[in-house]
Structure 1
Amino acid sequence: DGDTEDYRFAAVPVKTEDRGRLTVYAGAPLSAEHGAVNTALTVMLIGFPVLLAVVGWVTWLVTRRALRPVEGIRREMAAITASEDLARRVPVPGTHDEVARLASTTNETLAALQTSVERQRRFVADASHELRSPIASLRTQLEVAAAHPELLDLDGAVEDTVRLQHLAADLLLLARLDAGERPADARVDLAALAREEAGGRAGVSVRDDAGAAGGVTVAGSRGQLGRVLANLLDNAQRHARSAVEVSVRRDGDLAVVGVADDGEGVPEADRERIFERFVRLDAARSRDDGGAGLGLAIARDVAVRHGGTLTVHDAPAGGALFELRLPAA
């Protein structure tokens, strides 16, 4: 028929009665299929770039909106860094997604950092104040002695020097603890250490409740643990009326050392505050008699560094009972 389009043919054999076997050929042009392919190709060539541009634009809008809170967090952190104002906080979006959790975690980190910096500043200020008193007293005595040797108070100068030495040692120990110094891994017999620290102290008795069971041994620094017991005994003797008792026992996997006195005890509202640095509940007590308020803070820090705890409760005799709990070796 003169049509030059591609055709698709099918051949079907047929058996007839009058003409025998015949083959019937049927064909149809492929112009419709070729037209559909050309139309699809045209649509793809024109529509794909348009679709790609639309998808890119939508992706940019969605990404920009999603990252807008992140940019706000970045700007606020840059402002905090520039101003050194740790009291500021980054904005928390109300989306309840990962970005909101990131902002909340950032604010928690800033709060912890602010607390640490404020604690360090307060510590430096308190340390400077505590050091100023013995240094000024010692300087005054030395200046008086230089002008009038006959007025030299040698005993007072020695007491101020010793107090200054003890305060400096406490500050150095706290600095090492804050720096994360790991305690030694030596075996320490708490009962023997308690008897050693209580020796020579009037009115102090030691009760070993685990002696028959092989004693109570912990792993740690003998010097630091001895410092804890010494500080607890000093505190107990300052507040006791007549007697102080040290008890050593095992409680499961824990070694427990108790230091009890028969004084007035510690009010429940102050049982955590007494472990803060430079805190003295008795404001009328002088620094010479009551110390600088670092003993219990050092004791708790050492206990925590050894994986234990230090708490205060009511003693059976009505005073205060300080309990040191450490993992038994």
Structure 2
Amino acid sequence: MSRLFGSVRARATLGATLVVAVALVAAGTAVVLSLRSNLTGEAGTQAERSARAVAAELAVRTPYDKLSGLDGDDGPVQIVDEDGRLVAASDDLERISGTATADVTPRPANPDGDDDDDDSDGDDSGDDSRGSDDSGESLEPGGIARETTFSNGSATIDGDAEDYRFAAVTVETHDRGRLTVHAGAPLAAEHSAVRTALTVMLIGFPLLLAVVAGVTWLVTGRALRPVEGIRREMAAITASEDLARRVPEPATHDEIARLARTTNETLAALEASVERQRSFVADASHELRSPIASLRTQLEVAAAHPELLDLEGAVEDTVRLQHLAADLLLLARLDAGERPAGARVDLAALAREEAAGRPGVTVDAEPAEVSGSRGQLGRVLANLLDNGRRHARERVTVTVRREGGSAVLAVADDGEGVAEADRERIFERFVRLDAARSRDDGGAGLGLAIARDVAVRHGGTLTAGAAPAGGALFELRLPLAGRE
């Protein structure tokens, strides 16, 4: 179960279903409340219409037994006097609640049992007096209050019990004082509509949620199918260690297609890196084999014939082996992402220091400080000068200048130069353009590769071009200190 709900597909389906469920419940609640409010309002309007019809008859002195609204056809009606006594009610009214009184049997307003239908000599105060209803509204005799009060209750008429919406209207009569008419309208339509709506929701909502869950499950499954293909292919690549394989790229333009392309680009970069590492190890082994073999041969000869020991050659092979080991160690540190130190280095002073003691090297430099490792930058300059001296006819020129936010160190020679097609290849490791040149004269082909790697690690560039004198020109560009 935990594995099932740990999948993106299951979580997406569950999330979509929950969101739709909350939306449906909120919408259903709003619909039911609105429906109930509207139908209750309609029942209230009907009840008010009945109450005002009875009040209008009372205002024109209609006797209680002549009132048309007391037949019970339009709902229960009660008429209450100022003292809260029931003076008239619908026929066959058996029980009532929610009005001013629960009485269902009228009680006359005087001891003689008169309905006070006719004017009496002893009580004509209602002819000229003015009163006010509970809201403070002043009423003339025969006037009906504008305000209507509503309440909910129930009533039983001729054995049928129902819920009703009651409206209460006050009328000032000429002969019977102030009366309040309570008339009810049935809420059966409201209850029926609400029950129907709830039934539809209870049946329809689960079905709709099932449809939403099913559609979401299918859509997310279809959308995530390429991801599963990518995962399987990556698992196969990991198991086989075959970096030449690629994950399938869907023919879409969405995030999954971009993920597949990025994954393939990563695999391509990783494959190139591994191939470069293998080539580096193979070339390093080959380069190390020669001085080690030469040194071993000389030592074996010396062991058998001490008088034949070539001490100078052994020292040269040892020094060359030492330089090659140092180059390989530096390249390994650079490949591992070693960050240079943040010291300030004056390239002009560094150029003069490296050029000192080298015949044919001239320096034309203005102060230009950069941030980095003095040892590594000195190694770059030394490698460039060594390369220039090997190919120059007579002289090598070093210039340092400030250009915008960069310091530019240029090393130019007057040799034959580098063909344009080879100006990038010479920065590859173990590359020597002159295949006939011996390793003793030309080194292992790591100097320019180290120089470029150091330049990149310092946030700069190292490029090869043509010098004004016709030879090679190497330009090292580094950001000035404080402008990195």
> Does the TM-score normalized on the shorter chain lie above 0.5?
yes
Match of 2:201 among 44, 58, 72: 44
Displacement of 1:229 after TM fit?
A: 1.0
Q: Which runs of structure 2 are paired with 1:50-65 in the superposition (5 Å)? A: 50-65=207-222
Aligned to 2:435: 283
Displacement of 1:15 after TM fit?
A: 7.6
Counterparts of 1:161 and 1:223, CA distance in 2: 23
Does residue 94 (structure 1) correspond to residue 251 (structure 2)? The answer is yes
Aligned to 1:227: 379
Does residue 6 (structure 1) correspond to residue 163 (structure 2)? The answer is yes
Does residue 136 (structure 1) correspond to residue 288 (structure 2)? The answer is no
Aligned to 1:298: 450
Counterparts of 1:177 and 1:148, CA distance in 2: 44
Return the letter of the residue paired with 1:263.
G
Match of 1:148 among 299, 305, 313: 305
Match of 1:166 among 306, 313, 323: 323
Does residue 124 (structure 1) correspond to residue 281 (structure 2)? The answer is yes
Return the letter of the residue paired with 1:250.
R
Displacement of 1:255 after TM fit?
A: 1.5
C-alpha deviations, 1:250-305, integer Å up to 9, x for none?
11222111111011111111111111100111111111111100000111111111
Q: Secondary structure at the match of 1:5?
A: strand
Tell me the percent identity: 85
Aligned to 1:321: 473
Displacement of 1:237 after TM fit?
A: 0.9
Return the letter of the residue paired with 1:56.
A
Displacement of 1:41 after TM fit?
A: 2.3
Aligned to 1:265: 417
Kindly tell me the number of residue pairs found equivalent between the two proteins.
324
Instruction: Report which of the two structures shows the higher radius of gyration computed on alpha carbons.
Output: 2
Does residue 251 (structure 1) correspond to residue 403 (structure 2)? The answer is yes
Does residue 196 (structure 1) correspond to residue 348 (structure 2)? The answer is no
Structure number with higher helix proportion: 1
Q: Secondary structure at the match of 2:161?
A: coil
TM-score under structure 2 normalisation? Answer: 0.63
User: Where in structure 1 do 4 or more consecutive aligned residues deviate above 6 Å?
Assistant: 14-24
Return the letter of the residue paired with 1:264.
E
Q: Which runs of structure 2 are paired with 1:198-213 in the superposition (5 Å)? A: 198-208=355-365, 210=366
Displacement of 1:186 after TM fit?
A: 2.3
Distance 1:39 1:157, change over 3 A: same
Supply the RMSD in Å over aligned alpha carbons.
Answer: 2.0
Distance 1:179 1:10, change over 3 A: same
Counterparts of 2:370 and 2:203, CA distance in 1: 80
Distance 1:10 1:184, change over 3 A: closer
Displacement of 1:16 after TM fit?
A: 8.4
Counterparts of 2:228 and 2:265, CA distance in 1: 19
Displacement of 1:227 after TM fit?
A: 1.0
Q: Secondary structure at the match of 1:318?
A: coil
Displacement of 1:10 after TM fit?
A: 3.3
C-alpha deviations, 1:134-185, integer Å up to 9, x for none?
1111111111121222222222111111111110111011111111222222
Structure 1 gaps, min length 5: none
